Structure 1
Amino acid sequence: MALLLLLVTLTTCAATPQNLESKMFTFPEATNTAHTKLLTTKQDLSAVTVCLRSFTDLRRGHPIFSLATSLASNDFLIFKLDESDLFDLWARDKNAKFALQDYKLNTWNAICSTWDATSGIIQLWVNGKPSSRKFVSFGSNITEPMSIVLGQEQDSYGGGFDINQSFIGMISDVHMWDYTMSSCEIQNYSDELSFSLGNVLNWNALDFQITGRVLIEDKQTC
């Protein structure tokens, strides 16, 4: 596997959006500093869909995707809890817990979540299998400038990292949309079939900033 880039204790920006197809971010150690910040110009979201692939052996709680604004540190958060099948999803600082049996350690998991500000409904998919639909928060959009982070959970806008909640493992194929995707499109994403690329974050044209020991590597596949 070719090692493309190693950044240690430095902050580095992608000069232009990069096509990371068949690549992955590797977070190799517990830390309260190393992370990848994903950049977007979008500032008004009435709905959200996030999909990504995650690979880890962590049994403790850790973030999958963290979006904070100055008004809410958990404006949109996907968090894996200690329990083997439990996730905690947040929107606008309100949360709901979900149990999905299909999540596995030491393999790639396709994780997607949707939230709609009009209905307040949030939902989780793991490897194409949907959760129950639950209410968290409605009536207000995500309107502030967003800080989107992989590898750490934000307890404040762009910071407040805790080494005991840091992510160790690999993340790939990150996409984000400003609408709730259909179950069929989420299934296509999970099965690595054709789907609409993200219009907020697009893994094939990603603008990002890396801080600390984070690697960009070829994705490990057979």
Structure 2
Amino acid sequence: MKLLLLLAMLTACAAIPQDLSGKMFTFPQQSSTSHVRLTALKQNLGAATVCHRSFTDLKRDHILFSLSTTSSANGFLMFWFGASQEMEIGINSVAIKYKGMDYQANIWHSICTTWNSENEVVQMWFDGQPTIRKFVNAGSAFAGSTIIILGQVQLNGLNGLNFTPGNVLNWSALDFLITGKVLIEDKQNSCY
């Protein structure tokens, strides 16, 4: 009974939006289960921009961001392929690849990716440098309930700059649930 009460209390605490300004999620060990599930404020998105910073020692293929909808397990996906040095952006399960990216281990990288269903164009900014704009015939807007996961692939902020809080995810009022070994730590400032 005590365990059940503790689990209920932990779940309730995780469901309350928290101010994570100046904070970051840290995945301190490789895992096939640890992740953070973010709750979106809006559904049915006609456009999306995802900006994040990452720092890893992984040299293997790994996920950076995953948004799924009821109609597409890979609604908006950002995936790194280490061997081929490609960043793949998936929009409604259609893949666009950016080759020759300098995604080095043990260095902070800033990545912004944007997509609009009106003109069906995707573009990425890698460490502040724009990549070529590419057409992606990925269908319509992200429809239905959205699930956003950090740290794992779903099977069904930048260099100290401040951005206007998002209207889908707001870091200063973030609704999230942590599964496995994920830490919330103070943001690390770079010295360069």
TM-score (norm 2): 0.86
* Runs (5+) with no aligned partner, structure 1: 1-10, 157-172, 174-189
CA distance 1:84–1:27, change in 2 (3 Å) = farther
> Alpha carbons of 1:194 and 1:41: their partners in 2 closer, same or farther (altered >3 Å)?
closer
Aligned to 2:166: 198
Aligned residues: 180
Name the residue aligned to 1:96: 96
Q: Which residue of 1 aligns with 2:188?
A: 220
Alignment deviations for residues 114-154 of structure 1 (CA, whole Å, 9 cap, x no partner)? 01111111111111111111122354111110110000011
Using the alignment, how far apart are the partners of 2:152 and 2:163 within structure 1?
Answer: 28
Question: 2:5 aligns to what?
Answer: none
- Give RMSD over aligned pairs: 1.9
C-alpha displacement at 1:99, in angstroms?
Answer: 2.5
Counterparts in 2 of 1:114 and 1:25: CA distance versus 1, 3 Å: same
Any conservation in 2 of the 1:35–1:151 contact (CA below 8 Å)? Answer: yes
What amino acid maps onto 2:154 in structure 1?
A: Q
Change in Cα spacing, 1:71 to 1:97, as seen in structure 2 (3 Å) is: same
Q: What's 1:107 paired with?
A: 107
Distance 1:199 1:137 in 2: 25
Deviation at 1:112, TM superposition (A): 0.8
Q: Using a 3 Å threshold, how does the CA distance of structure 1 residues 191 and 93 change in structure 2: closer, same or farther?
A: same
Post-superposition offset of 1:79? 0.5
Specify the SS of the correspondent of 1:19: coil
Q: How does 1:161-172 map to 2 (within 5 A)?
A: none
Q: Distance in 1 between matches of 2:25 and 2:178?
A: 10
Instruction: Say if 1:102 and 1:127, in contact at 8 Å, map to a contact too.
Output: no
**Which structure: larger Rg?**
2
Amino acid at match of 1:201: L
Amino acid at match of 2:22: S
Q: Is the 8 A contact 2:15 2:177 kept in 1?
A: no
Consecutive unaligned residues of structure 2, counting only runs of 5 or more, are: 1-9
* 1:34 aligned partner: 34
SS of alignment partner, residue 14 of structure 1: helix
In the alignment, the residues of structure 2 paired with residue 211 and residue 96 of structure 1 have an alpha-carbon distance, to the nearest angstrom, of 30
Equivalent residue number for residue 55 of structure 2? 55
d(CA) in 1 for partners of 2:111, 2:141? 23
